[in-house]
Structure 1
Amino acid sequence: MRRRLIQSTLAVVLVVIAVFGVSLVIVETRTISNSAQERVDSEAIRLAGIVDSRLFAAEDVTAEILRDQVAQERYAVIRIPGKESIEVGSKPSGEVISSTEEGEEGETVTVQEPRSSVTREVGRTLLIIGLVALLAVIAAVLLAIRQANKLASPLTDLAETAERLGSGDPRPRHKRYGVPELDRVADVLDSSAERIARMLTAERRLAADASHQLRTPLTALSMRLEEITLTDDPDTVKEEANVALTQVERLTDVVERLLTNSRDPRAGNAVTFDLDEVIQQQLAEWRPAYRSAGRAIVSSGKRHLTAVGTPGAVAQVLAALIENSLMHGGGTVALRTRVTGNQAVIEVTDEGPGVPADLGARIFERTISGRNSTGIGLAVARDLAEADGGRLEMLQAQPPVFGLFLSRTPLRSAVLDDDEPTVR
């Protein structure tokens, strides 16, 4: 492309130089020839006037007297009736420019100039025109190279940017070239790169969140199946099978929400549900894992509390907190329920060392983990809690206390245990 731009620009300049240069040469040649003829005519008229004045005054007319009146390269012949012709200068050879003028006393003055002087002047003019044309061609080439680089380099950059986008590198370059049309293309490519980057980030986040949300139910399901394989008691097998079916339903619910919401957790439908059912379900699912680890998981606090949210999402949040305590905590894990204002709170705590001081509030950021884990469990749990209009907070770092806050149904009362008052 760069070569084509240079060639096309140079061709246009050469055509312009050819058209105007030839015209200028013709005009200048005629002008120089006419000017030379006018000089010779003027010289003849002037000499005739000098000869007339001397003849009228009865003075001598000689070559010595007229020699100073004739230019060096010119030749003059004065013919006076009754006298010999007077010659001034050297007679030129070859083609000449000649002019003859008759005086009032009957004399004839002829002035000649060699045409070679005109040829030399025309040659000098042609040389000047040629030099100007050469400078114009050089300037045109330099300008064409500059313009070609200004256009070709941006197009090469834009092609590389488009190729990078196609190869999966969506980083915008934010590079502009000073050409409105090319800058517009660059703007569009940068906007497309930013959109692709957002889409890829969302895809990666969806994959990470989906794998994490599916891993916990699958882990619990595998533990139930292990319990079934280790027992011969039909009642135990039946009980574990029922729990496994419940976990399969939870797993199906997770998959459906992931597919239908396209990782937009706010698309879920919040309902009023009983917190006790979700808590007891989690206790039943995680007790085998805690029992295998030599630890216990218990619940306490107010009973028969209702909340507004998605039961499956709340179960996933609690599962993430319980699993987090199993992996990073120690001792007994306790789930406590209480009421604050118009919110129901589920606190999850254990007897472990707690959250390191260097993590602090960053514990809910993605990729932040105190050990070799994915670092997205608490981040996903917080997203799920906020999707239901609630929130997930770390209430205490040592020992660790995490609180899940959910809105309560304002038209229904929450009933406590038999020995506790009713809270509205």
Structure 2
Amino acid sequence: MRRRLINSTLAVVLVVIAVFGISLVLVESRTIMESAHESVESDAVRLMSVVDGRLAGGDSGEEIGRDLLHDQVTAGRYARVDLPGGGTIEIGDRPGGEAIEARVTGEQGERITVRESSAAVRDEIVRAVLIICAVSLFAVLAALLLALWQARRLTAPLTDLADTAERLGSGDPRPRHRRYGVPELDRVADVLDASAERIARMLTAERRLAADASHQLRTPLTALSMRLEEISATDDPETVKEEAAIALGQVERLTDVVQRLLTNSRDPRSGSGVSFDLDEVVKQQVEEWRPAYRSAGRAVVCSGKKGLRAVGTPGAVSQVLATLVENSLMHGAGTVALRTRVTGNQVVVEVADEGPGVSPELGARVFERTVSGRNSTGIGLAVARDLAEADGGRLELLQQRPPVFAVFLSRAVSWGADS
């Protein structure tokens, strides 16, 4: 592209110089020739006026003299005065070869002839042509420098934009925020930067979804594997049937978790809350985690106000509670208690254990991603908070030591309900 810009610019300049330069040479040559003819005729007329005046005053040819007429002729020209009596006066050297000539006849019968060598006129034309050629060469050099500057000014940004596009294609979505002072190129840079920001957001969302999914699916899969172990370890058909039913329920909740994560990654505020029985969700979590706690020599219990109904997504609330119960199993100690209560127009599910709790350094930062004090991923509580907020609720740390986490949900109140 740079070569094309340079060649096109030089081509335009050369065409302009060829058209106007040749025209200027022709016009200048003609002007010099006409000026030389007019100058020779002017010398002849001036001589004629001097000679005619002297002759009219009664002077003879001898009295006119060469010296008197010499000052009336331009240097380098030849003049001849033929007097009426036959006398001749010559001024200057007669030019050889072609010459520009002017002849004038006076009232007294005298004849004046003035000549100038054509070589002198040609020399003047050559000088004019050389000046025009020098100016044209300067114009070509200036055009070449301008073409190089313009080509660099246009091709360097294009190369830079191509590098930016290649970086985007290779998975580096960082915007460069470079502008070049050319509106069209700056528009392309704006579009590339906007695309880079969108790609960065998409990649961040995809990576976050992958991390959330891998972390959040681990809990229901662990619970499901425990149920399958229970099935494989028993020969009682009733127990197998009961455990299989529970496993199927866990599979359904697993599907709900996946759907919820996908929906939440596209639009965090896309909750589709319904009224549900909070006791059933709490009971289901206690039953699912009791075998794991029994294996660890610990217990998980539930207490508090019964018959509460909340507004939200049962699968999401189950996942939030499962995250809190799992954290207590991994990082807590003693008995884990799930307690339900009412505050204002909200229902609250508290999850507490007898462990060391959250260190003062972490505090409320425990809900931030990648923040963890126990060598964990730091994703679980952040995702649980997002799930709770997507349902119009919230997840808070009410007490650090011993730890008490609380899930706040909108309360579904029906006529005749106990307030």
Q: Taking structure 2 as the reference length, what is the TM-score of the superposition?
A: 0.92
- Does structure 2 retain, via aligned residues, the 8 Å contact 1:51–1:61? yes
Q: Indicate if the aligned counterparts of 2:271 and 2:392 stay in contact, CA closer than 8 A.
A: no
- Counting only pairs closer than 5 Å after superposition, residues 331-370 of structure 1 correspond to structure 2 as 331-370=334-373
Instruction: Please list the CA deviations of residues 157-191 of structure 1 after superposition, one character each: whole Å capped at 9, or x if unmatched.
Output: 23233333333332233322222322333333333
Matching residue's letter, 1:160: D
**What is the CA–CA distance in structure 2 between the aligned matches of 1:14 and 1:374, rounded to whole Å?**
71
For residues 144 and 241 of structure 1, the distance between their equivalents in structure 2, rounded to whole angstroms, comes to 80
Aligned partner of 1:189 among 188, 192, 213: 192
- 2:382 counterpart residue number: 379
Contact 2:175 2:192 (C-alpha < 8 Å) held by counterparts: yes
Q: Give the conservation status (yes or no) of the 8 Å contact 1:394–1:402.
A: yes
Q: SS at 2:337's partner residue?
A: strand
What secondary structure does 1:175 align onto? coil
The answer as to 2:98 corresponding to 1:95 is yes
* Change in 2 beyond 3 A, CA 1:72/1:266: closer
Task: Say which is worse superposed, 393-402 or 43-52, in terms of deviation.
Answer: 393-402
1:305 to 298, 302, 308: 308
Instruction: Work out whether 1:48 is the aligned partner of 2:45.
Output: no
| CA displacement 1:37-57 (0-9 Å, x = unmatched) | 111110111111111222223
Q: Which residue of 2 aligns with 1:417?
A: none
2: CA distance, partners of 1:87 / 1:174: 86
The structural deviation recorded for 1:391 is 1.0
> Do the aligned partners of residues 371 and 138 (structure 1) sit closer, same or farther apart at CA in structure 2, a change above 3 Å counting?
farther
Offset, 1:318: 0.3
Q: Distance in 1 between matches of 2:44 and 2:362?
A: 111
**Deviations, residues 248-278 of structure 1 (Å, cap 9, x unaligned):** 2322332344466765454443222222211
Alpha-carbon separation, structure 2, partners of 1:257 and 1:141? 65
Structure 1: distance between partners of 2:360 and 2:373: 10
Provide the C-alpha distance between the structure 2 equivalents of 1:360 and 1:262, rounded to a whole number of angstroms: 27
| Residue identity in the other structure for 1:223 | M
Q: Deviations over 1:323-368 (max 9, x none)?
A: 1222222332221211100111011122222223333322222222
What secondary structure, in the 3-state scheme, does the structure 1 residue paired with 2:372 have? coil
**Structure 1 residues 406 and 412 mapped into 2: Cα distance closer, same or farther (>3 Å)?**
farther
- Give the secondary structure class of the aligned counterpart of 1:138: helix
Aligned pairs (5 A) from 1:23-172: 23-59=23-59, 60-172=63-175
Question: For 2:416 and 2:278, how far apart are their aligned partners in 1?
Answer: 13
Distance in 2, Cα, partners of 1:329 & 1:114 = 119
- Conserved 8 A contact 1:347-1:402: yes
Return the letter of the residue paired with 2:293: Y
Letter in 1 for 2:141: I
3-state DSSP of counterpart to 2:333: coil
Alpha-carbon distance between aligned partners in 2 of 1:412 and 1:270, rounded to the nearest angstrom: 20
Alignment root-mean-square deviation, CA: 2.3
1:7 alignment partner in structure 2: 7
- Structure 2 residue aligned with 1:280: 283
C-alpha separation in 2, matches of 1:303 and 1:67: 138
Shift of 1:300: 2.2
Shift of 1:25: 0.4
Q: Which moved more, 1:377-386 or 1:256-265?
A: 256-265
Aligned positions, number: 416
Structure 2: segments with no counterpart, 5+ residues: none
Shift of 1:125: 0.9
Who is 1:389 aligned against?
392
What aligned pairs does 1:171-250 form with structure 2 within 5 A after superposition? 171-230=174-233, 239-250=242-253
Local SS of the residue matching 2:383: helix
1:173 alignment partner, SS class? coil
Q: Are the counterparts in 1 of residues 179 and 186 from structure 2 also a CA contact under 8 Å?
A: yes
Maintained 8 Å contact 2:253/2:315:
yes
Structure 1 residue 78, shift from structure 2 partner = 0.9
Preserved contact between residue 206 and residue 263 of structure 1 (Cα < 8 Å): no
Moved more, 10-19 or 234-243: 234-243
Cα distance in 2, alignment partners of residues 316 and 146 from structure 1: 64
* Deviation (angstroms), 1:399: 2.5
Deviation at 1:305?
1.7
Tell me the distance in 2 between the aligned counterparts of 1:35 and 1:118.
Answer: 10
243-252 or 229-238, larger mean C-alpha shift: 229-238
Cα 1:358/1:413, change in 2 over 3 Å: farther
After superposition, the Cα gap between the structure-2 partners of 1:263 and 1:69, relative to the gap in structure 1 and judged at 3 Å, is closer
Kindly indicate whether the alpha-carbon contact (under 8 Å) linking 2:212 and 2:261 is maintained by their aligned counterparts in 1. no
**Structure 1, unpaired ranges of 5+:** 415-422
CA distance in 2, matches of 1:86, 1:265: 116
Letter in 1 for 2:356: P
Q: State how far apart, in whole Å, the 1-side matches of 2:415 and 2:221 are.
A: 35
The aligned counterpart of 2:332 is: 329
How far apart are the structure 1 equivalents of 2:314 and 2:177? 46
For 1:410, the aligned partner's letter is V
Distance 2:178 2:281 in 1: 54
CA distance in 1, matches of 2:269, 2:280: 23
State how far apart, in whole Å, the 2-side matches of 1:69 and 1:223 are: 131
Match of 1:419 in 2: none
- Report if aligned partners of 1:396, 1:402 keep a CA contact under 8 Å in 2: yes
Distance 1:351 1:62 in 2: 142
Equivalent residue of 2:302, what SS? strand
Residues 39-48 or 239-248, more deviating: 239-248
Compute the displacement of 1:230 (Å): 4.9
Query: C-alpha distance in 2, partners of 1:341/1:25?
Result: 100
Moved more, 5-14 or 365-374: 365-374
Shift of 1:22: 0.6
- Match of 1:393, SS state, is strand
